[in-house]
Structure 1
Amino acid sequence: MTYSIGTVAEKSGISIYTLRYYDKMGLTPFVKRNEASGRREFTDSDLNFLSVITCLKGTGMPLNEIRNFVQCCMDGDNTLNQRLALFENQKEVVINQIGESLRNLQKIDHKIEYYKKAVKAGTEKAVTGKNNLPENHVPLNELIDELL
């Protein structure tokens, strides 16, 4: 079964503009075009590939690196090691992002508690000196270990 660009936009959540941009940037060489009309014809396999592209983009991978990954896929099995390395490296990037987000979440949680106490007391002076991370602060490596 094939899908039009509009249907793919609806199914994937990727705008038509972005799908066309991806094509222009060389991210979708796997998408065939109708010989008569020149329109893109997406398959279920193409939708799956687009979901991987969306995933990588969502982790902050630059489009040029995603394009390299796509090219490796197009080049076949002789690039399996490169693709594995790419995903292993990106996993580390995501783990670091999660760690940073968890550190920020801890700080935000602490500030929420700080301001709850200040609101309850009617003044920030009542909680002065308690602005450091709380005693029950969980070390980052423990939080990451729980995720993995």
Structure 2
Amino acid sequence: MSHDVPGLSIGEVAERTGLSVHTLRFYEREGILANPVRRDPGGRRIYHEDDVDWLTLCMILRSSGMPVPAIRRYTELARAGDGTEAERLALLRTHRERVLDQMDQLRKCLDLVNFKIGVYEDALDQLAASSATSADAGG
């Protein structure tokens, strides 16, 4: 982790990650940043590339349905370092099962949507065919 390069402002991190400044502050309060946020002499937050990388991981976990408390726990374990790998693995495996269950449920939903699309496509095809037949008979 190199901090020789100038840091990023909270606005720059928000722009890079797509997270709002409010969300970044929330994540900091919730303790789900891998490192404590550093501050410049004026008290402004300073982020670094490793913070952006960690936030990207947190965003993926969050968008896949991992609750904030689980992300916080994962962060705590990562901060603790060596010796926590088994618990981190267990946490991720549990989350993977939830994601797979969600995917299965979404597949079932997609099957129903595709079925309904087929029903309407068939109905419109039949309507178009009967309209064409009526036009031919009358013309």
Using the size of structure 1 for normalisation, the TM-score is: 0.77
Residue aligning to 1:84: 89
| Shift of residue 35, structure 1, vs aligned partner | 4.8
Runs of 4+ in 1 over 3 A off after TM superposition: none
The aligned amino acid for 2:105 is E
Where do residues 5-20 of structure 1 align in structure 2 (5 Å cutoff)? Answer: 5-20=10-25
Q: CA RMSD in A?
A: 1.4
Would you say 1:106 and 2:96 are equivalent positions? no
The aligned amino acid for 2:76 is Q
SS for the counterpart of 1:14 is coil
Residue aligning to 1:128: none
> Residues 125-148 of structure 1, C-alpha deviation per residue, up to 9 Å, x if partnerless?
xxxxxxxxxxxxxxxxxxxxxxxx
For 1:5 and 1:67, locate their aligned partners in 2 and report how far apart those are by CA, in whole Å.
20
Residue aligning to 2:136: none
What number of residue pairs does the alignment pair up?
122
Using the size of structure 2 for normalisation, the TM-score is: 0.81
Would you say 1:69 and 2:105 are equivalent positions? no
Residue aligning to 2:43: 38
SS for the counterpart of 1:77 is coil
User: Is the contact between residue 32 and residue 40 of structure 1 (CA under 8 Å) also seen in structure 2?
Assistant: yes
| Shift of residue 31, structure 1, vs aligned partner | 3.7
User: Is the contact between residue 5 and residue 19 of structure 1 (CA under 8 Å) also seen in structure 2?
Assistant: yes
The aligned amino acid for 1:97 is Q
Unaligned runs of 5+ in 1: 123-148
User: Is the contact between residue 31 and residue 42 of structure 1 (CA under 8 Å) also seen in structure 2?
Assistant: no
| Shift of residue 40, structure 1, vs aligned partner | 1.6
Deviates more, 1:36-45 or 1:6-15: 36-45
| Shift of residue 34, structure 1, vs aligned partner | 2.1
Radius of gyration: which is bigger? 2
The aligned amino acid for 2:46 is E
User: Is the contact between residue 34 and residue 54 of structure 2 (CA under 8 Å) also seen in structure 1?
Assistant: no
| Shift of residue 121, structure 1, vs aligned partner | 2.9
For 2:41 and 2:86, locate their aligned partners in 1 and report how far apart those are by CA, in whole Å.
38
Unaligned runs of 5+ in 2: 128-139
For 2:24 and 2:37, locate their aligned partners in 1 and report how far apart those are by CA, in whole Å.
13
SS for the counterpart of 2:33 is coil
